[in-house]
Structure 1
Amino acid sequence: MTETPISAAHDSAPGTVDVIVVGGGTGGYSTALRAASLGLTVLLAERDKVGGTCLHRGCIPSKAMLHAAELVDGIAEARERWGVRASVDSVDWAALVASRDDIVSRNHKGVEGHLAHAGVHVVRGSARLTGTRTVRVEGHGEFTARRGIVLATGSRPRPLPGLAADGRRVVTSDDALFAPGLPKSVLVLGGGAIGVEYASFHRSMGADVTLVEAADRLVPLEDADVSRHLTRGLKKRGIDVRTGALLQEATVLEDGVRATVRTARGELRAVGAERLLVAVGRVPVTEGLGLAAAGLTADERGFVAPADWDRLETAVPGIHVVGDLLPPPSLGLAHASFAEGLLVAETLAGLASPPVDYTAVPRVTYSSPQTASVGLSEAEARNRGHGVTVNTMPLTAVAKGMVHGRGGVVKVVAEAADGAGRAGRVLGVHLVGPHVSEMIAESQLIVGWDAEPSDVARHVHAHPTLSEAVGEAFLTLAGRGLHQQ
């Protein structure tokens, strides 16, 4: 794509800019930065802090805490497996929180600096649409967009009916990291990526953890084998995993929460914990956004659907949507929001921009064990009519996997093999095990570029590494199996 910077009209009427972005999370600020780099004048309205949920309450602080948890787990492994006489006497919660907050603060200042350097005009306040090209920001007045408006107001945790979060005994994924201290026991409700990560963190920190998921398996949107290996790993760590289970009732006490859970067999089980962590999904934030004033409506789930997915443009020309306001196939992931922001900014600048290929966007769960996937699951591939060839390679089948000693698997889903036994186009890659969040990038390119196993097999993977297992899996599918026959 050839970029042609646009000469922005800086002599326009006061309060008039090229682009107005409502919401300063990952989707919003990436739109603003890219639009400004293309010569457009941009106003970004954010009622809280730029960076959004991901930076301040989600991705960044939670991964900082999970890194600390990984260090604690490493000390246990050093003692139990490698003869290193070490132990964790205690966790200094205040020091842990200080390190986490420093990382968040430095990232926040970095985003603010990028926006200022790019010339994006950031205004603090709640914003609402007043027309198809106008937005009123509380405390700042009304602004007009010549080229378009971008809605990027994000999402909030889905509440549990009849049980309000208090930030102490009942917490959501937004405030779980900021609740006081480390509980000795936690009941996590919701077995998606967020619930699994929090269950993993608290177990590493010594808590007794019960993880309840209504679906028949954890991370139900992932490949079934991913769910199976993840569940096995979590149970091995002592987490009480209950799938196909429903919370019937919960009572908040002075010293914790008492809950009743209906199991997959229909039995009622009492579960007591110091803290109940609700992670049953997120819902789009549209309250007070003034959609009707611009001729827009949210669907029954609260999403604002685009009329044109190639441009992420709504039925009202010039109004675009990015991030968690988008319904599936958008993924509600920060890195997907970055891509959406780039697309919309380039579209508003008059450039031809490739649409987001959501199938090629990687999905990662940062628990222990980790999961990382890109492309179609085996079931999705079959449901779409593909003839399928599947190869599964244990991480422990390579030397580095044995060194780590934590199991794991590489699963490749490809189109059916030809008469010579060589599989066709790669449809999906699914990883479970240590550090797989750092291994998925290669598979993202493989799926995104419609590669075949023979294309991958031409390239040599370093030995000994965990990624060697990925290379071995593709060698086998290409009919050139070495250690895996």
Structure 2
Amino acid sequence: MDETDVIVIGGGTGGYSTALRAAALGLDVVLAERDLVGGTCLHRGCIPSKAMLHAAELVDGIAEARDRWGVKATVDGIDWPALTATRDAIVAGNHRGVEAHLAQAGVRVVRASARLTGPRTVAAGGQVYAARRGVVLATGSRPRLLPGLVPDGRRIVTSDDALFAPGLPESVLVLGGGAIGVEYASLHRSMGARVVLVEAADRLLPLEDADVSRHLGRALRKRGVEVLTSALLTSAEPEGEGVRARVRTARGEDRELPVERLLVAVGREPVTDGLDLAAAGLAADARGHVPPADWARLETAVPGVHVVGDLLPPPSPGLAHASFAEGLLVAEALAGGSPRPVDYAAVPRVTYSSPQTAAVGLTEQQARDRGLDVVVNTMPLTAVAKGMVHGQGGSVKVVAERQGPVLGVHLVGPNVSEMIAESQLVVGWEAEAADVAQHVHPHPTLSEAVGEVFLTLGGRALHQV
């Protein structure tokens, strides 16, 4: 038996961040990963999808240059092999960086599946490892599937394999209007595909503020995406080189939608296959999560067994940056420290569609449902000069408690993913609008609109009336 301080099962964002921080604190760490370190985010999700979405922005920019600015430019076509080669080079570079960090930190990486054999023991690669400090479960998630839909990697795909399907489809039905579905709908539309986006809820991004959802829905429709909310996929059959799908609309109409590709983006589910939770005295809940008994340490009811990332139930949001924070917390707890718990209310949420959305904290409805005395201020981005330059619309919405702290900030528009960090601090530090209003925002920028909203809420309105 090989003894170590910490054993991490899973090398995605939560797992490798735990390993790196624990090693930096002087602990001996074994990290078991059956695939590639970096996990879904690096290899199939966040990084490759955002690389592709950047390429889509360039295509959109050429159209804007031609149609709005008089720049005589056209897109002659998409060189798919060249585009994917650049994407893959970005992923490979990041992967090499993570591996180098782990090696430099002295983390022992075991490239094999791992399973629990007890509360502090793990079998991987023909070896049994015993952990003096604890075991960290970080096995991530996979796309959730619907009964009868069998992905084939070409006609029916999930968010894990959509980027790697052959070529660009001429038409695609995206099933699911959450962040992943909206991003893929936006990407395919930018690349020239006919896109139908189907969501069972009554609006896109149903977990976000209703005003953001409405703005995004209008913007996508304006771009040519057919958005069907309160709609259900009733059947989907591969046919020839495509799929014949049938959708029941909000009006109860049955529509037949032949498309080249059906992209299923109805959420993700935790992966515990082969982990043998029972050997450690653990069990997953009804949705497959492994809940902690102590959220301050992310420790399960079995002492010394911790959980990070997508295995955690809400309020953990299943986002890569939340997983990083969880990994840091658990490593510091295992090293004997007393880290501050993750403030999930202050974890930002971003959708990289066109337009983008970004938010942190409570929506207006969530705040009212809690019985809080709420004040709200909204400002269109086109009310500031830089917003007029971009010409893409968008808005800033701030939800605050009357005579109290800011509860939530909600943005939609160009580049708002790069604007949300300020609001993360505002919400996380429970600042009041008047506190934020004391700080000067640069001119001309889109962030001016954020400053203007706080100025108004702080009783110092400038351009808002």
- The Cα shift of 1:385 comes to 1.6
Match of 1:141 among 101, 123, 127: 127
Match of residue 468 from structure 1: 448
Alignment of 1:6-405 (within 5 A): 15-137=2-124, 139-405=125-391
Across the aligned residues of Structure 1 and Structure 2, the Cα RMSD in angstroms comes to 0.6
**Structure 2 segments unaligned to the other structure (5+ residues):** none
Equivalents in 2 of 1:38, 1:357: separation in Å? Answer: 23
1:478 to 2:464 alignment: no
Equivalents in 2 of 1:242, 1:398: separation in Å? Answer: 32
Match of residue 420 from structure 1: none
CA deviation string 1:424-453 (max 9, x = no partner): 310000000000000000000000000011
- The Cα shift of 1:140 comes to 3.2
- The Cα shift of 1:190 comes to 0.3
Q: Secondary structure at the match of 1:130?
A: strand
Match of residue 435 from structure 1: 415
Equivalents in 2 of 1:112, 1:15: separation in Å? Answer: 22
Q: TM-score, normalised by structure 2?
A: 0.99
The amino acid of 2:70's aligned partner reads G
The amino acid of 1:188's aligned partner reads V
CA deviation string 1:148-198 (max 9, x = no partner): 000000000001211100000000000000000000000000000000000
Equivalents in 2 of 1:101, 1:251: separation in Å? Answer: 31
CA deviation string 1:117-174 (max 9, x = no partner): 000000001100000110001x331110000000000000001211100000000000
Equivalent residues, number:
465
CA deviation string 1:180-227 (max 9, x = no partner): 000000000000000000000000000000000001110100011110
Equivalents in 2 of 1:338, 1:177: separation in Å? Answer: 24
CA deviation string 1:348-394 (max 9, x = no partner): 00001000010100000000000000000001111112110000010
The amino acid of 1:344's aligned partner reads V
Q: Secondary structure at the match of 2:134?
A: strand
Equivalents in 2 of 1:186, 1:445: separation in Å? Answer: 39
Equivalents in 2 of 1:468, 1:140: separation in Å? Answer: 58
- The Cα shift of 1:238 comes to 0.4
Indicate the larger mover: 20-29 or 381-390.
Answer: 381-390
Equivalents in 2 of 1:335, 1:107: separation in Å? Answer: 16
- The Cα shift of 1:103 comes to 0.3
Equivalents in 2 of 1:460, 1:151: separation in Å? Answer: 44
Q: TM-score, normalised by structure 1?
A: 0.95
Q: Secondary structure at the match of 2:118?
A: coil
Give me the identity figure in percent: 78
Question: Runs (4+) of structure 1 moved beyond 3 Å?
Answer: none
Match of residue 458 from structure 1: 438
Equivalents in 2 of 1:33, 1:140: separation in Å? Answer: 24
The amino acid of 2:258's aligned partner reads G
Equivalents in 2 of 1:257, 1:411: separation in Å? Answer: 40
Equivalents in 2 of 1:313, 1:226: separation in Å? Answer: 35
Equivalents in 1 of 2:83, 2:126: separation in Å? Answer: 38
Equivalents in 2 of 1:38, 1:163: separation in Å? Answer: 46
Q: Secondary structure at the match of 1:114?
A: helix
1:413 to 2:399 alignment: yes
**Structure 1 segments unaligned to the other structure (5+ residues):** 1-13, 418-423
